[in-house]
Chains A and B, each alone.
Chain A
Amino acid sequence: MTTQVHIVVDGKPHKISVDDPNMPLLYALRDELKMDNPHFGCGLAQCGACTVHVNGQAIRSCVTPIGAVNEAKITTLAGLGTPEHPHPLQAAYVEEQVPQCGYCINGWIMTAAALLKDNPHPTDAEIRKGLSGLKCRCGTHMAIIRAVKRAAAMA
C-alpha cells in the first residue's frame, strides 16, 4: 500500500509516495529526492553520517521512519548554508580545513549547529559532550573542536 508523505526539505516542499512507511528518511532523501547527502554510514544511529535537522532537532535519518516525519521541516547540510551565505560552522570548517575524507561531516556540522543554537558559547567540555557519539575515522577531532569554537566566536 502506498502512503503519501509531505516533507519540506531545505525550504522546498515535496510529496513522496512510499510503499513502506518504515523506510528510513535517509532513503527518501537519497533515493526519492536524489540528494547527495546525508550519507549512509551505519544504519544503526551509531555514527551520525546521516544527520539532518527535523524541525530544528538533529536526528539520525538512517533510523527515522519516513512515516514519522510527515509534514516535517527538514534541513540538510546543503540547506544549512551556501558558499555565498555559509552557516558560521561551514565557514569555520572551511577556515580550519577540518574534513579529511569528510564522509562523517553531516553528523558533526548538523549536531554542532543544533548545539550552538541552544548554547551559543559552549565550553570545550560542552562541545565534546554535545558531539559525543559521533564518529570520525580519519581522526580530525582536534580540528572539529577548533572549528566549533571558531564558529561560536563568530556568532
Chain B
Amino acid sequence: MTTQLQNLRFDLTRRGILKGAGALVISFTAPVTIAEAATAAGTAPKPLDPTQLDSYLAVHRDGTVTAFFGKIDGGQGTDVGIAQIVAEELDLPADKVAVVMGDTVLTINQGGASGSFGITWGGKPMRNAACEARQFLLNRAAEKLKTPVEKLTVANGIVSVTDAPGKKITYGQLVGGKFFNIPMKWNGKIGNDLDVATTATPKKPADYKVVGTSPKRRDVARKVFAQPTYVTDIRVPGMMHARIIRPPVAGAVPTAIDQASVKDIKGVRVVQKEGFVAVLADKEWDAIRAAQNLKINWSQPDAAFPEPAQIYDYIRKAPVRKRTVEKNTGSVEDVFKNAAKVVTADYEWPFQSHASMASGCAVVQIKGDSVTLWTGTQKPHYARDGVAAILNVPVEKVDAHWLTGPGSYGRNDAGDTALEAAFLAKEVGRPVRVQGMRAEGIAWDPKGPASVHTARAALDENGKIVAWQFESKGFSRLEIDSNESDPANSILGQQLGVAPKPTEAFGTPDESYDIPNRLFAWETIPPLLQRASPLRTSHLRDPIGPQVHFASESFIDELALAAQTDAVEFRLKHLKGRDAEAVKAAADKFGWDTRVSGPRGDGKADIVTGRGIAYTKRLNTIVVVVAEVEVDRRSGKVRAKRFAVAQDCGCIVNPDLVRMTIEGNIVQATSRAILEEVKFDRQKVTSVDWESYPILDITDAPEKIDIVLLNHPEIPPTGAGEPSSRGVAAAIGNAIFDATGVRIRRAPFKPERLKGSFA
C-alpha cells in the first residue's frame, strides 16, 4: 500500500496532474515534455521526428526518464510494460521511467491500441531507443570518467568505474535536460509497423532484471481516489455540451426540425446538416433535455434489415463480395472421397456490441487556426487525422491529447465522437464536448460482425484428422476501418454524404494442428445498409477470433467424439512442441479427467456439470482454455463456474499484469459467449441499454480462474491483450456438450434459447 501511494504522489507530482485538479482541467496529461526538456536545455522544442532518439526518450536532470509512446493503454498496463522494457535497457528501476502515451504533440504515431501489439510491436522501437541511449550515455561517461566503457558498471542510473566505485557519474549529469541529437535508422513506417534500429546490442534475456517482474500499474490509485483521469472530465472555458440525435430508424434523415420545441431550454443550439442532427447547450442536463424534446420529422426509408430470426439464412444466401482462400494444402476433395469417416457441422455467431461502460466522449476547441482534441479513442493519432479532414485543415494544425475513456475494446464509438465534436465546435464557434446517452454506445457503436461457419473433416481409421475444410461467411470485420482517420469511416462523415469505403476482411482459425490436407477460406457479404448503419461492423476485441474459434474448436470436439477419443488426447494427437505443452498445462491445472466427452450417469438430473477445452493461437500466442460449466436443464441457464487457462505469449514482461489481462478477457468472453447478441428488428437496433443488451452479472462470474503462464524469455513477446478471448465460447460450448450430450452450434448460450434443448 505505502509503495503504491508513494508511486501515486510521485506520479501526480511528476505529471503535474494535481495542478490541474478542480474546476478547470484542460491539460492534465501535460507531463515532463519534450518542450520542457528543450526549455531546460535552453533550446527550442524540436518537432517529432521518427529518425531522432529524442522523439522516443528524454533523460531528465534528476536522472529519471520519460518514454514517449505512440500507443495507449486501456487499463491492462501496457505503459508499465513499456517502462520495464526501457528501464531494462537503461539499467534503471521501472519506476524511474515515466511513459507518455498517445499524445500527438509528444509521441509519434505507433498505431494506438491495436491487435495486442502494444508490447509486441510497440515495445521494440522503445527498447531500441533505450538501448541506443544507453550506449551514448556509457560512451559519454567513459569520456568524463576517463575510463574505457568495458570497465564501467551501470546500476540505478549511475555509471561507475568497476574497479573504483567512488568514480561515478549519473545519467542526469551526463545528459539531463538536453537533447541526445542522435539519429536512428527508421524503417520509414508509421503506425503499428513503425520501427527504429539500434546500433548497440540489446540485453540478453538471461540478463533481464526488470522484464519478467511485476511492478504495479500507475493509473490504479488515481482511479481509486477519484483523481482526474478521464476524457469525460475535460472542461474547457466556454465549452458547450452536445448530444447527437440518431435517427429513430436506420437510414432515416431529418425532413423538418421544429426549433420552437426546445425554445424554453436556456441557450440551446440545434445543428443540422444533411443527415446529422445535434443539440447543444451550456449545461449538460439542458443538452439532454433538448435532445429528448426536440421535434423532428424523419424520412421513412424502406426497412434496412432482414428478419432477425432469419439472419443466418440471410448470410448464407447473400451475394459474396470477396472470397479469400487463406490456406490450401494437399487436396481435401480427394481425401473426402475416400475417407473412413467424414464429419460436418455449421456454427453461427451474432452481431455483438462493444457496450463500453458509457458511450464515447470527445472535446474539441478551435482557436484561430489551431485545433485541440481531447479523446478517449484507442488511436488518437488517427482521430487527429480524422478531425483535420472533417474540418479541412492541415493535420499539423490539430493536436490530440489522449485520456482514458469509458472502456476500450476496439473501434467503438469514441472515434465517432471526436469527429462530431470537431464539426460542432466549428459550427457553433465554441469548444464542444460530445458524449452520447446509453443507446449511442450500444445501439450505435460499430458492431462485431455476425457470421456463419461450415466445417467438414475426414478422419482416418486411427481417428486422426486427414483433411479439414473450414469456411466462414459473414459481414466484413471492416465495413468501417478500425480507425477514424477518414470521415468515410465515421458515422458523421457518412451522414454528411461521404461515400463509405468498406474493406473486405474476415479470417480463419489460427492453430498448429498437424493435418496434411486443409482448405481454409472466408467470404464477406455486403453491408445491410450502406450509410450510417447501426449494424456497421468493425473491430471488437479479438476481431473475428471468438466467432471463428467458437466454430473451429467446437468442431474439433465433435471430431474427438466421432473418433471416440478424449478431447485433450485428441488435440495432443495433432499437436507438438509449445502447443502441446500449453494443452497439457491447462488440462493439468484444471485436473482434467480423461474420458470421451458426454453426460455421465443417465444425464437426466436437473443440474448437470461438464468440462470442455479449447486450444487457440493468435499471431504466435498460444492460449488453452478449460471451462467447467453447470447447466440447469430445466431453465437452460449455463453458468461457467471455473476456468483453467494456459498462455504462452513468448517473453512475459509483467506476469501479474498478464494474469489480470487474462482474467478480464475470460470474464468478458464468457459474457459474450453466454449472453451477448445485438437485437434488432427490420428497421433498427433494439438493444439500447443493459436490459436489452445484458452482460455477465457478478453473481454469474466464475468462482475461480486458474492461470498458468508459460514463459519463454528467449522468444520476443507475441501479444497478451486479447488472445485469451477467442477460445472461451468453444470451451464453454464443449463443456455444455459434456454436461448434457447436446451440441450447441449457435452463440450465445442464453437460457431463452437453450430452454427446451436438454429435454
Contacts and interface: CB of A to CB of B under 8 A. Distances in A.
Interface of A: 19-20, 23-24, 27, 30-31, 34, 36-37, 39-44, 46-47, 49, 76-78, 81-84, 86, 90-91, 93-95, 97-106, 109, 124, 128-129, 131-145
B438 A44 contact: yes
A135 B694 CA distance: 10
Contact of B9 (A37, A47, A83): A83
Contacts of A49: 357-358, 406
Given A95-B4, A101-B408, A137-B695, A34 B663 contact: no
Contact of B285 (A27, A131, A145): A27
B223 A34 contact: no
Contacts of B741: none
B697 A83 contact: no
Q: Chain A: interface secondary structure?
A: loop
Given A101-B405, A102-B404, A142-B702, A36 B25 contact: yes
A27 B8 CA distance: 28
Interface residues of B, number: 69
B683 interface: no
A12 to B, nearest CB: 13
Contacts of A77: 224-226
Q: Chain B: interface secondary structure?
A: loop
Nearest to B688: A44
A140 B663 contact: yes
A136 B700 CA distance: 13
B690 A93 contact: no
B22 interface: yes
A109 B671 CA distance: 22
A132 B699 contact: yes
Given A94-B220, A134-B698, A140-B667, 10 more contacts: A36-B230, A39-B230, A40-B435, A44-B690, A100-B660, A101-B357, A101-B408, A109-B224, A137-B357, A141-B667
A141 B154 CA distance: 42
Contacts of B216: 97
Interface string B6-28: 00110000000000011101000
B358 A42 contact: yes
B217 interface: yes
Contacts of A106: 226
A143 to B, nearest CB: 7
Contact of A142 (B4, B233, B407, B705): B705
17 contacts: A23-B285, A34-B23, A41-B406, A46-B689, A46-B690, A47-B357, A81-B225, A97-B217, A97-B660, A98-B220, A100-B660, A101-B74, A101-B404, A128-B699, A132-B697, A137-B695, A138-B74
Given A44-B438, A142-B705, A83 B671 contact: no
B224 A93 contact: yes
Nearest to B672: A139
A76 B226 contact: yes
Given A141-B667, A142-B702, A83 B225 contact: yes
B101 to A, nearest CB: 14
B333 interface: no
A46 B75 contact: no
Contacts of B140: none
Contact of B668 (A39, A138, A145): A138
Interface string B71-108: 00011100000000000000000000000000000000
A42 B217 CA distance: 27
B226 A36 contact: yes
A128 B701 contact: yes
Contact of A137 (B9, B221, B356): B356
A82 B221 CA distance: 10
Contact of A145 (B406, B407, B701): B701
Interface in B36-88: 74-76
Contact of A102 (B25, B75, B664, B705): B75
A103 B667 contact: no
B691 interface: yes
Nearest to A62: B438
Given A102-B229, A137-B356, A94 B221 contact: yes
B690 A95 contact: no
A100 B220 CA distance: 8
Given A83-B5, A141-B667, A101 B406 contact: yes
A103 B358 contact: yes
B185 interface: no
Contacts of A138: 74-75, 407, 664, 668
Interface in B178-199: none
